[in-house]
C-alpha cells in the first residue's frame, strides 16, 4: 500500500491546524472572567505632594457597579477624612472618586472596594503623603 499524498494529505493538515486553533480558543478564558484592577490613580500610589488634592480619583480596567463600589481616605491617626461623597463617573463608569476637604500635612491611605460589572469584588489600598509647608 502506498502512502497518501496530494489532496488527501493537504486536507489532513488543514484539519489538524483547525483543531489546534479551536483548542487554543476554547482553552483560553474569556475577557469577562477578568477582575477589575486599578489602572491609575490621582494622586498616584506613594506620591509625595505639596498640597492635598481636592478629590482622589481611581481608574479601573472594567466598568464599576456604582451601588457596590466605595473609596475612602484615612489619616495617620485612623480617622476617615474624606467627604463621603463617593461617585462613579457618569462620563466614565471605570472612574471612582471622593472629595477630600482636609488640608493637613501627613501620610494618607486610600482604601477602595469595587464590584465590577463582571461580578468580581476587588479591595485594596494605596498611600500618599502631603508634605508640611516650609
Task: Tell me the whole-structure pTM to 2 decimals.
Answer: 0.74
User: Of 83 and 23, which is predicted with more confidence?
Assistant: 83
- Which runs of E-coded beta strand occur in 24-105? 38-42, 47-49, 55-60, 70-75, 87-88, 95-99
Residue 103 lies in a domain: yes
Cβ distance 101 to 128 under 8 Å?
Answer: no
Asked, for residue 98, whether it belongs to a domain, the answer is yes
- Total tally of structural domains belonging to the chain: 1
On whether residue 121 sits in a domain, the answer given is yes
In a domain, 19, yes or no: no
56: domain CATH number is 2.60.40.1220
What is the percentage of the chain residues whose pLDDT exceeds 90? 66
Which value, in Å, is the radius of gyration of the alpha carbons in the chain? Answer: 25
Confidence of residue 11 (pLDDT cuts 50, 70, 90): confident
pLDDT at 124 (0 to 100): 97
Whether 61 is in a domain gets the answer yes
- Could you report the per-residue pLDDT of 91-109, keeping only the tens digit for each? 999 999 999 999 899 999 9
Q: How many other C-beta atoms are found inside a 10 Å radius of the C-beta of residue 89?
A: 14
Does 22 fall in a domain?
A: no
Domain that holds residue 91: 33-130
> What is each CA distance from 6 to 3, 12, 13, 15, 83, in whole angstroms?
10, 10, 11, 15, 75
Q: What is the pLDDT of residue 30?
A: 47
Residue 39 domain-assigned? yes
| Stretch 46-70: mean pLDDT | 96
Query: What DSSP state is assigned to residue 77?
Result: T
Mean pLDDT computed over every residue of the chain: 86
Amino acid at each position: 500500500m502506498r502512502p497518501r499524498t496530494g489532496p488527501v494529505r493537504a486536507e489532513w493538515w488543514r484539519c489538524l491546524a483547525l483543531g489546534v486553533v479551536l483548542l487554543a480558543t476554547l482553552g483560553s478564558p474569556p475577557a469577562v472572567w477578568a477582575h477589575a484592577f486599578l489602572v491609575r490613580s490621582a494622586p498616584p500610589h506613594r506620591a509625595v505632594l505639596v498640597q492635598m488634592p481636592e478629590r482622589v480619583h481611581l481608574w479601573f480596567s472594567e466598568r464599576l457597579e456604582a451601588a457596590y463600589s466605595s473609596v475612602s481616605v484615612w489619616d495617620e491617626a485612623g480617622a476617615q477624612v474624606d467627604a463621603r461623597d463617593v461617585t462613579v463617573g457618569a462620563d466614565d463608569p471605570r472612574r471612582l472618586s471622593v472629595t477630600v476637604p482636609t488640608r493637613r500635612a501627613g501620610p494618607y491611605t486610600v482604601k477602595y472596594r469595587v464590584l465590577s460589572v463582571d461580578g468580581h469584588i476587588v479591595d485594596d489600598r494605596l498611600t500618599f503623603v502631603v508634605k508640611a509647608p516650609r
